[in-house]
Amino acid sequence: MLCYLDEIAALLFLSTPATYLHNIWFAAGILSSFRRILQHFHTTAEDYTVIFTSGCTAALKLIAESFPWIPEGTKQPSSRFCYLTDSHTSVVGMRGITAQMNVLSVPIKPKEILLAKSRLPAEEQNCTTPHLFSYPAQSNFSGTKYPLSWIQNIKSGKLCPIKIPGKWFVLLDAASYVSSSPLDLGVHQADFIPISFYKIFGFPTGLGALLVNNRIAPLLRKTYFGGGTAAAYLAGEDFYFPRKSIAERFEDGTVSFLDIIALKHGFDVLEKLTERSLGRIILHYSSGMEKIKQHTFALAHYTYAALSNLKYANGAPVVRIYSDTDFSNPDVQGPIINFNVLDENGDVLGFSQVDSMASLHNIHVRTGCFCNTGACQMHLDISNEDIQRNLQAGHVCGDNIDLVDGRPTGSVRISFGYMSSFEDAQTFLNFIIATRLSKSDSEIPLQTVTKPMTESVPDDHLSFNNADKLSPVLQISDRDLRNISSEAKTTGRWQPLEPEAESIRAAVSETAVPTCRKGDKPITIAKIYLYPIKSCSAFEVTEWPVGNQGLLYDRNWMVVNPNGVCMTQKQEPRLCLVNPSIDLKQKIMVIQAEGVDPISVPLEDNTGKEAVICESKVCSHRVKTYDCGERVAGWLSTFLGRPCRLIRQSSDVKSKSHQKNTKGLSCATNISLSLVNEAQYLLINVASILQLKEHISARLKEPLEIEELIRRFRANIVVSAPESFEEEEWAEISIGALQFQVVGPCSRCQIICIDQQSGERNKEILQSLSAARGRKTNFGIYLMNQPLLSSFSDILSVGSQVLPVLKENTEIQPPTSSEEKCSG
């Protein structure tokens, strides 16, 4: 803690009078933040040491590295690292470090702890081998709060996580808990308490702390010594003497001192907020935290009650909530609700779909397993084999594959913080009601919701600004009911339409040969599009060569931000105004956009330097790419008005062996794909578009052009089949010599809301799709082509006939594929 004060002291001498004053502020600011943290947790520097880290995760790592473990194979009894299975990944990950140190780790299920009552025999109590037990004060998954009384009981030997001689130390992962509950370290003297400040204030990110009880602080080991941690050392010899202060010893390098100073403002804001709510009386800060606990719990309780009462007309619940409590007591339940949305038949709706719909309503939900696989497995009933099987099916943590074989791989979570209001809770409920319940279902049982917060919370929670609105019995407003009924109008089953696709049919060549498919009219290719630059405008062609990764040059380039993260229309709708086209003869790609001169990029040049691309947050070399240079980067940056670069996939990936596509579904990971695409081709059917158009027209004032609608779905192949949605019954198709396997349906995201000509958004489109398709957002199918038999590339042409093979069992729903392709 004091090490950067040294630096500041140095600054004091060097600086001019103006900055001198500034620097005194710095020093004072840091000291005051330091005090405020200890004060916040009801403790003093006498009992606890504060070590600043980059976050809770870094604090956990530090514990694993410096705990005075006694490894296996020494004369003394060895140490154990025990953790509750409902722990955050960052806690479970500590076992990687302990394993390296030859220390065994033992996962413990919550109910095992509740049952463990045994006391150690007296003769074993003299053993001093240190063991560490870690548990979350509040589960990051379900919001369950585990008893803080465990701390004292474990330390005193009354409660034994596992029977083994030695001395237990307790790591209380308070990262989630302290964001909405008071923690009194005077009473609950855990040995290690890691926290992240953004979870308390929403800011600053990248700053956390480890509070270490001074009973263990002097025993911590330090192997690495970074700048500022040494009292003295010799560069040439093994001589290092650490600083006396524990905090100074562990804060490697320069800590983020500006952020530390900013903490004061975080505490100030929390204080002001809760002061105001109490009128003139200014209470001790901790009772402010108590207010926040009551306020956030009141919101969660209300939302939980409303959600669990939502029913379809047939009585089936609308959501399945994963929790260990019934939200009746804020001491055992935090303000987190974890659930999955169900359909009328009780089948789970994929969380990616819920996420897409929620983002249209400006609601931010978290989806997946929330860095807590243990809790996720427990609540969703996913076995270890399932996790391994899902991985084989291409599902990895953090992706959008939300269902495998119809079973969820994760769930949806909402949490409330001090700034959440009653309106937020209502907005969320209205969103669920609007997207799930039609008129016929709308005996909305919200009336049955009891007044939120009856006994368990003291009355003074009403002093919150918005709490007065919490009291009336909740009823859906007339406006909501109107919204629901307008939704219902459009929800009935679709009537088959007379296809009126003249404009499309006109495009179909006359040469199509009739087929003998159940006497039906032939299916033909109506349009072919490629998207040379991911997320940019389509390039329409009448015939095009097919390579091993799909249409030649389809999504071979992408626009990335200066950090290498791919830009899509979600962040930058203007990308659809960028029109690339490919000139195979001249071997160039020409990029055009209104109001600027076109620019061309050679097709065969890969002399640029290698680039790293980042999919969401993970950067990798999985796809080899190179940068297309300054000229085109400048052109794009000017047009989009933000710095960006164009990168291209190296052509050597193309020759990568094309693996056999087994079972169709699990293939997405091992088939050769161009840039981060989900599948090689996306196919849509004109008849399906026509039916959707009818549906949307009923909801829109202005008529929608069919061509415009087609463009929104960003398909590669547009076929014209007689029946709408018959494409969903296909297992395989062949077009001339080319064979394609159907990978699965494409689940749509908000990209289809963007007018591909103007870049404007209209959220009606996705809502109509969801309403029209029985509240699913699938439209179109993904295809993979079989390895090409010859080395010649085949040609796909408009007018060619499409011969489908139907699925044997049309009931099987493949996993909804992620939205990669629909992100452009």
Ligand X SMILES: *Cc1c(COP(=O)(O)O)cnc(C)c1O
Query: Which residues here bind ligand NAG, judged by CB under 6 A?
Result: 123, 126, 140, 176, 179, 199, 336, 370-371, 415
In angstroms, rounded to a whole number, what is the distance separating the alpha carbons of residues 180 and 137? 11
Q: Indicate which single residue of 66, 105, 134, 140 sits in contact with ligand X (rule: CB under 6 A).
A: 140
What's the min distance (Å) between Cβ of 603 and ligand NAG? Answer: 42
What's the min distance (Å) between Cβ of 76 and ligand NAG? Answer: 14
Q: Candidates 50-58, 63-71, 435-443, 745-753 — which segment interacts with ligand X by CB under 6 A?
A: 50-58
Catalytic residue, chosen from 371, 566, 753, 822, is 371
What's the maximum distance between 2 C-alpha atoms anywhere in the chain?
94
Amino acid making up residue 702:
E
Residue with tokens 């026509």: 690
Q: Which of ligand X, ligand NAG, none interacts with 625 (beta carbon under 5 to 8 A by kind)? A: none
Work out whether 53 is an interface residue with ligand X (CB under 6 A).
no
Q: Which of ligand X, ligand NAG, none interacts with 379 (beta carbon under 5 to 8 A by kind)? A: none
What's the min distance (Å) between Cβ of 338 and ligand X? Answer: 13
Residue 760 token pair: 């404007």
Q: Quote the Cα angle for 713-718-405, to 5°.
A: 65
Q: Indicate which single residue of 55, 143, 266, 374 sits in contact with ligand X (rule: CB under 6 A).
A: 55
Work out whether 173 is an interface residue with ligand X (CB under 6 A).
yes
Q: Which of ligand NAG, ligand X, none interacts with 804 (beta carbon under 5 to 8 A by kind)? A: none
Nearer to ligand NAG, 143 or 532 (CB): 143
Which residues 6+ apart lie within 8 Å of 47 measured at CB?
185, 186, 189, 213, 214
What's the min distance (Å) between Cβ of 295 and ligand X? Answer: 19
Coil, strand or helix: which one is 559? strand
Work out whether 180 is an interface residue with ligand X (CB under 6 A).
no
Work out whether 196 is an interface residue with ligand X (CB under 6 A).
yes
Amino acid making up residue 414:
I
What's the min distance (Å) between Cβ of 148 and ligand X? Answer: 14
Tally DSSP H helices, then E strands, for the chain: 21, 33
Whether 446 and 476 have beta carbons less than 8 Å apart is answered as yes
Q: Candidates 169-177, 525-533, 684-692, 794-802 — which segment interacts with ligand X by CB under 6 A?
A: 169-177
Which has the closest alpha carbon to 450: 477, 423, 473, 422? 473
What's the min distance (Å) between Cβ of 479 and ligand X? Answer: 37
What's the min distance (Å) between Cβ of 84 and ligand NAG? Answer: 15
Q: Which of ligand NAG, ligand X, none interacts with 229 (beta carbon under 5 to 8 A by kind)? A: none
Find the distance separating the first CA and the last CA of the chain, reported in whole Å.
Answer: 49
Nearer to ligand X, 206 or 227 (CB): 206
Contacts by 265-270 with C-beta closer than 8 Å and gap 24+?
266/197, 266/200, 266/201, 266/203, 266/204, 267/33, 267/36, 267/40, 269/201, 270/200, 270/201, 270/418
Q: Which of ligand X, ligand NAG, none interacts with 739 (beta carbon under 5 to 8 A by kind)? A: none
Q: Dihedrals φ, ψ of 681, to 5°? A: -135, 150
- Helix segments in 525-583, DSSP class H: none
Residue 514 token pair: 């009739």
Nearer to ligand NAG, 199 or 712 (CB): 199
What's the min distance (Å) between Cβ of 321 and ligand X? Answer: 19
Work out whether 175 is an interface residue with ligand X (CB under 6 A).
yes
What's the min distance (Å) between Cβ of 270 and ligand X? Answer: 18
Catalytic-residue membership of 3: no
Q: Dihedrals φ, ψ of 319, to 5°? A: -135, 155
Site string for ligand X, 290-309 (x = CB under 6 A): --------------------
DSSP category for residue 443: -
Which residues 6+ apart lie within 8 Å of 132 measured at CB?
63, 67, 79, 80, 81, 82, 168, 169, 170, 171
Which has the closest alpha carbon to 579: 567, 597, 591? 591
Q: Which of ligand X, ligand NAG, none interacts with 415 (beta carbon under 5 to 8 A by kind)? A: ligand NAG
In angstroms, rounded to a whole number, what is the distance separating the alpha carbons of residues 178 and 170? 17
For the chain, the 3-state helix, strand and coil shares in percent, each to the nearest 5, are: 35, 25, 45
Nearer to ligand NAG, 126 or 454 (CB): 126
Nearer to ligand X, 88 or 711 (CB): 88
Q: Which of ligand X, ligand NAG, none interacts with 136 (beta carbon under 5 to 8 A by kind)? A: ligand X
Q: Which of ligand NAG, ligand X, none interacts with 55 (beta carbon under 5 to 8 A by kind)? A: ligand X
Which residues 6+ apart lie within 8 Å of 658 measured at CB?
548, 671, 672, 787
Nearer to ligand NAG, 337 or 560 (CB): 337
Please, which of residues 58-87 interact with ligand X by CB under 6 A?
none
Nearer to ligand X, 144 or 176 (CB): 176
Q: Indicate which single residue of 23, 43, 49, 57 sits in contact with ligand X (rule: CB under 6 A).
A: 57
Nearer to ligand X, 165 or 417 (CB): 417
Total interface residues for ligand X by CB under 6 A? 12
Q: Which of ligand NAG, ligand X, none interacts with 173 (beta carbon under 5 to 8 A by kind)? A: ligand X
Mode of pairing for the β-strands spanning 407-408 and 48-53: unpaired
Q: Candidates 52-60, 261-269, 445-453, 549-557 — which segment interacts with ligand X by CB under 6 A?
A: 52-60
Q: Which of ligand NAG, ligand X, none interacts with 336 (beta carbon under 5 to 8 A by kind)? A: ligand NAG
Residue 816 token pair: 């909804």
Which residues 6+ apart lie within 8 Å of 559 measured at CB?
533, 534, 535, 536, 566, 567, 572, 575, 578, 636, 640, 644, 645, 646
What's the min distance (Å) between Cβ of 721 and ligand NAG? Answer: 44
Nearer to ligand X, 374 or 550 (CB): 374
Nearer to ligand NAG, 415 or 430 (CB): 415
Whether 77 and 165 have beta carbons less than 8 Å apart is answered as yes
The residues that are catalytic are 371
What does the binding site for ligand X look like in residue numbers (CB under 6 A)?
55-57, 88, 90, 136, 140, 173, 175-176, 196, 199
